[in-house]
């Protein structure tokens, strides 16, 4: 392959990864800095907790109608608009003294984030050829894990140089940079959008799109069962993770420093898993990545739930995060290969709405269970339910369907 051809092949995926990476690092800076700002202003743990409640609520209120907009709008331009809008809103946060107004802005930013994920998924499905998707998804996982590791470190460095307000401004700039990088990507809807009949966003249109997603789900039942089972496992991970800090402090009796190291171990596990994914992308099949990934993810949680020492908990954290990297890469490739790109925004948004409700319900249930059984027993129960779902998912995956299959990479992968 000559240098010019290699440059063309790498150019767009690299630009997309840079945009994702910059935005992801900014998200971590934003999260840590905003927590400190709210706590310094209110001295209230409840106010800080409210920040975490705003995200699923924003998802619930956004996702029912967002898919209808995403599938009818220019994907690249929408991504740029969402990046710039979030950047500008975050930029004005330091100048606001009203907690209520800060929560309103954070809520709008979360709405934008809820729209951005299904938009970017639809766009990258169009941008990345089928034979390059596993490697790209592995690289995306690596970039995201890099943000997980470097984001908090950069936030700490910014706090040493300035204040949390300064860190917030840097985050706003990161979103603007991400928007500029995204604007350099090709406009894939340039031709196809000319033939789209624009319809006004209304309750009637949302109902029509909801019916279309249901019809697709019935027609593609094999795909949607796998989709639902996989995301049910992720819902359970979110519920179990809600007890993570309490489990680490009250059951394992870890110090704040040890807990921080534990989180870093998880980031390292995701990063190493993503590197292995990237290297062996040609030899890995999405179905095995999903099946084996979710089983070992569950086993990692089980090891963690039974741990009675830092080293055992660290091993469990590394195993679950390492496996999560494989599982996510497999699922992303499966989703991109088996869901029609024309309705991908609506499918992702509507099912994302359901997942947000399930996350809230499951988190409340596992939290409520701690009033009747110990925190340790609640985490153990959640981990074993996760393993049951993972085995059930693997059973579906190894039964090939006549209508759908999990496509693997072609042998001519070029990046």
Residue given tokens 């409210």 in the structure block: 50
Per-residue model confidence as pLDDT tens digits over 347-388: 888 888 888 888 888 888 888 888 888 889 999 999 999 999
* Phi and psi angles of residue 107, each rounded to the nearest 5 degrees, phi first: -65, -45
Residue 303's pLDDT is 95
pLDDT band at 45 (very low <50, low <70, confident <90, very high): low
3-state secondary structure of 65: helix
Residue given tokens 């009818």 in the structure block: 72
d(CA 161, CA 166): 9
In this prediction, residues 269-274 reach a mean pLDDT of 84
pLDDT band at 320 (very low <50, low <70, confident <90, very high): very high
Q: What is the mean pLDDT of the chain?
A: 81
Ramachandran class of 401: left when φ > 0, alpha when ψ lies in -120 to 50, beta otherwise = beta
User: Would you say how long the chain is, in residues?
Assistant: 415
In this prediction, residues 37-66 reach a mean pLDDT of 78
Does 155 have pLDDT greater than 80?
A: no
In this prediction, residues 309-333 reach a mean pLDDT of 90
Does 390 have pLDDT greater than 90?
A: yes
Write down the pTM of the prediction: 0.77
d(CA 409, CA 391): 24
pLDDT band at 11 (very low <50, low <70, confident <90, very high): confident
pLDDT band at 44 (very low <50, low <70, confident <90, very high): confident
Residue 146's pLDDT is 63
Per-residue model confidence as pLDDT tens digits over 189-217: 765 544 445 566 677 888 888 888 899 88
Alpha-carbon distance values, 234 to 229, 242, 257 (Å): 9, 13, 27
3-state secondary structure of 188: coil
Which residues 6+ apart lie within 8 Å of 74 measured at CB?
187, 189, 190, 193
């Amino acid at each position: 392959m000559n240098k010019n051809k290699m440059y063309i092949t790498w150019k767009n995926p690299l630009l997309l990864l840079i945009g994702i990476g910059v935005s992801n690092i900014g998200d971590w800076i934003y999260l840590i800095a905003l927590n400190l700002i709210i706590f310094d202003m209110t001295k209230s743990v409840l106010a800080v907790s409210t920040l975490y409640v705003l995200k699923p609520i924003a998802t619930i209120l956004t996702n029912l109608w967002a898919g209808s907009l995403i599938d009818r709008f220019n994907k690249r331009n929408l991504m740029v608009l969402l990046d710039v809008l979030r950047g500008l809103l975050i930029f004005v946060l330091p100048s606001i003294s009203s907690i209520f107004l800060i929560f309103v802005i954070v809520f709008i930013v979360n709405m934008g984030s809820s729209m951005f994920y299904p938009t970017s998924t639809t766009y990258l499905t169009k941008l990345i050829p089928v034979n390059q998707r596993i490697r790209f998804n592995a690289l995306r996982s690596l970039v995201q894990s890099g943000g997980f590791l470097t984001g908090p470190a950069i936030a700490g460095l910014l706090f040493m140089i300035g204040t949390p307000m300064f860190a917030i401004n840097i985050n706003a700039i990161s979103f603007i940079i991400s928007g500029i990088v995204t604007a350099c990507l090709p406009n894939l809807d340039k031709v196809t959008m000319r033939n789209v009949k624009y319809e006004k966003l209304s309750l009637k249109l949302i109902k029509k799109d909801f019916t279309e997603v249901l019809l697709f789900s019935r027609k593609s039942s094999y795909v949607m069962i796998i989709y639902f089972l996989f995301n049910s496992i992720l819902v359970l991970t979110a519920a179990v993770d809600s007890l993570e800090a309490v489990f680490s402090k009250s059951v394992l009796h870890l110090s704040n420093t040890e807990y921080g190291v534990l989180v870093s171990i998880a980031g390292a596990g995701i990063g190493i898993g993503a590197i292995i994914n990237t290297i062996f992308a040609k030899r890995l099949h999405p179905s095995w990545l999903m099946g084996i990934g979710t089983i070992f993810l569950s086993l990692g949680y089980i090891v963690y739930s039974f741990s009675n020492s830092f080293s055992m908990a660290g091993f469990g954290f590394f195993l679950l995060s390492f496996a999560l990297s494989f599982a996510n890469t497999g699922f992303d490739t499966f989703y991109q290969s088996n869901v029609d790109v024309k309705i991908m925004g609506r499918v992702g948004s509507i099912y994302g709405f359901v997942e947000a409700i399930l996350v809230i319900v499951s988190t409340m249930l596992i939290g409520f269970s701690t009033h009747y059984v110990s925190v340790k027993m609640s985490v153990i129960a959640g981990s074993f339910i996760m393993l049951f779902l993972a085995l059930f998912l693997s059973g579906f995956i190894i039964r090939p369907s006549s209508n759908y299959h999990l496509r693997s990479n072609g042998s001519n992968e070029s990046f």
